[in-house]
Amino acid sequence: MESKRQQKISRLIQKDIGEILQRESIAFSKGAMITVTKVHVTRDFSLAKVFLSIFASKDKNEVIDQVNDQKKEIRFKLGTKVKNQLRKVPDLEFYEDDSLDYIENIENLLKE
């Protein structure tokens, strides 16, 4: 269970990375729409697991790989945004959030 501090940091990182990806996504998303769905921060705030939902893309894994290739640049831009709120910017790991696909699959099974 996350502490209140972890939850606040997670929301802050989610909002700021979302803004960064909206402005900079043209460079590495190949026209896909990327949304930050959730962020989990470790207890020592050294790692943030960022879950992305990707729309309008045929190969979602390729988009995730391209975002991971730009991880250092995204972390730097995040650091400039949160420099007054955090002492140390956590390392970022990006994952695909497949919860929407899971929900769609369950709905299709229930319809049958």
- The pLDDT-based confidence of 41 (bands split at 50, 70, 90) is very high
Residue 104 has pLDDT above 90, yes or no: no
pTM of the model: 0.84
Q: What is the mean pLDDT of residues 10-39?
A: 85
Residue 12 has pLDDT above 80, yes or no: yes
Q: What's the domain count of the chain?
A: 1
Q: Write the pLDDT tens digit of every residue in 44-85.
A: 999 999 999 888 778 888 888 888 998 999 999 999 999 888
Q: What is the mean pLDDT of residues 29-46?
A: 88
Burial class for 44, CB neighbours closer than 10 Å (0-12, 13-18, 19+): exposed
Q: What angle do CA 1, 106, 18 make, to 5 degrees?
A: 50
Domain that holds residue 96: 4-111
Q: What are the backbone angles phi and psi of residue 41, rounded to the nearest 5°?
A: -110, 140
Residue 20 has pLDDT above 80, yes or no: yes
> Which CATH number does the domain housing residue 31 bear?
3.30.300.20
